[in-house]
Structure 1
Amino acid sequence: MCGRFVVANVGSELVGVLRVDVESEDLPAPSYNIAPTSSVAIVLDSGKTEPPTRRLEPARWGLVPGWAKDVKVGARAFNARSEELEDKPMFRQALTKRRAIIPATGYYEWKQVDGAKIPHYIHPAGGEPLFFGGLYEWWKDPSKQDDDPERWLLSFTILTRDSIGRLGSIHDRMPLFMDPDHADAWLDPTTENVRDVLDAAIDAAPAVAETLDDHVVDRAVGNVRNNSPQLIEPATDADDDAPRTS
């Protein structure tokens, strides 16, 4: 799973290789402790133009489908198992029409050790961005007027797959990492063989995962109110493997 992640910078610094055409003027500020329901910058291809326009837009973490009665359903849909998307009404239509990439600097995962949780920060060794495969949806708030700019909510979920190697020793699931080539194909709204593209990305994800580093961080990351660059620094405890709770 992926329940917390980091975006240390935004805009072109993070998504240059994805060739974004338009960046929103109200992108969220950098954050070192992003939790579900937070606003995050995502990449999507708008099919309303020809050719499609690739956009970097703020979105709420936790997918809210168009048929939802309220946004609360999104709190349970911050992750989606990539192998089950077609079987879930929550994600099925978005898989076909509304695919996204979520750029990140790294993410947190908690390892169970003797009944306690040890937080790890997982990130690219060279400082390049990570790209998570995702889905997005637009939801119309029935309580707001048609001319209210906040009537339409953009939301997203992060796809996951089985973990491998060292990451598998931390948690049994990991985000679906995508390299720039797979991310580009995933975003293309004209793609018809979506499952083939997704399966190719799933098969390629281990190659990205094997390039990642991780280290134990302070348990302060477990509190969503804590948000500073110090959260991603290695823990200063004498024994980094000492059990901690989140």
Structure 2
Amino acid sequence: MCGRKFSDESLSWSMYREQLKLFTAPPASNFAPNYNIAPTHMVPVCFMEDGEKVLRPLRWGLLPSWAKDVKIGYSMINAKAETVEEKNSFAPLLKAHRCVIPVSGFFEWKRKGKSKQPFAIRRQNGEPILLAGLWTQNRMLGIDSYTVLTTQPNDLMAEIHNRMPVILEREDVDRWLDAAWDEAQGLAIRVQSDFLRTYTVSSDVGNVRNNSPDLIEPVL
């Protein structure tokens, strides 16, 4: 699964514009870094609106249009790419509610006996990671929210966890957002191991109240 992410100071408006080919700046074009993005946090998400790509903060943890309680979102932070067409909460969103979540990287935990070691995962070339997701509007709650698609791990990630997020190449963003689902679904696959690098980080990341640059620094 993907349960924590991070966005460092490199994710400025100019970086969002370059990675996502955006032309219109959002109302707040400089988003503050978040070194410990957890479910319920608001983060910048790119999606199509009236035929144009937009970037707006959405809440992590999908709240389907029928949901009356925000707690449902905790069980919908991820959606399995292999079964997304079979789930009533996700299938209606595949046609026109796909999104991209740009982050600097994400965290995952590897079990070691009775404890777990957290790892940070970044792109090998240092560029942002573009996560594939689905988003929706819940008018009853007045909240726009999203979920991250996950898939089977590549060899690198398999050493840490049995799932990983679906990661897009920059040149595939437009196809993921705006192509017919029959064409876009082929992008919901795992990236090659050499696309990513991993390193151990402090266990302090396990506490959502912690949020500082130290959390994404490597530790021995």
**Shorter-chain TM band:** over 0.9
- Tell me the secondary structure at the aligned position of residue 172 of structure 1: coil
The Cα of 1:177 is off from its aligned counterpart by 0.5
Alpha-carbon distance in structure 2 between the residues aligned to 1:15 and 1:217: 29
The corresponding residue for 2:191 is 206
Equivalent pairs, count: 217
C-alpha spacing 1:84/1:176, structure 2 compared with 1 (3 Å): same
CA distance in structure 1 between the partners assigned to 2:85 and 2:44 by the alignment: 25
Task: State the 1:15 CA deviation.
Answer: 4.3
Alignment match, 1:244 = none
Q: Offset of 1:202 from its aligned partner?
A: 3.1
TM-score (norm 1): 0.83
Q: Which one has a bigger Cα radius of gyration?
A: 1
**1:86-125 deviation line (CA, Å, top 9, x unaligned):** 1111101111220000001000000011121000000012
Q: What is the match of residue 197 of structure 1? A: 184
Matches within 5 A, 1:19-168: 19-26=21-28, 28-46=31-49, 48=50, 52-141=51-140, 152-168=142-158
Asked if the contact 2:60–2:145 (Cα under 8 Å) also holds between the matched residues in 1, the reply is yes
Q: Are the counterparts in 1 of residues 132 and 188 from structure 2 also a CA contact under 8 Å?
A: no
Instruction: Please tell me whether residue 170 in structure 1 is matched to residue 170 in structure 2.
Output: no
Partner of 1:216: 200
Post-superposition shift, 1:25? 2.0
Counterparts in 2 of 1:69 and 1:39: CA distance versus 1, 3 Å: same
C-alpha contact 1:10 1:41 (8 A) present in aligned 2? no
Q: Percent same amino acid at aligned positions?
A: 36
SS of 2:62's equivalent in the other structure is coil
1:4 Cα offset (Å): 0.3
Q: Which runs of 5+ in 1 are unaligned?
A: 143-151, 241-246
Within 2, Cα distance between the matches of 1:104 and 1:15? 13
Which residue pairs with 1:2 in the alignment? 2
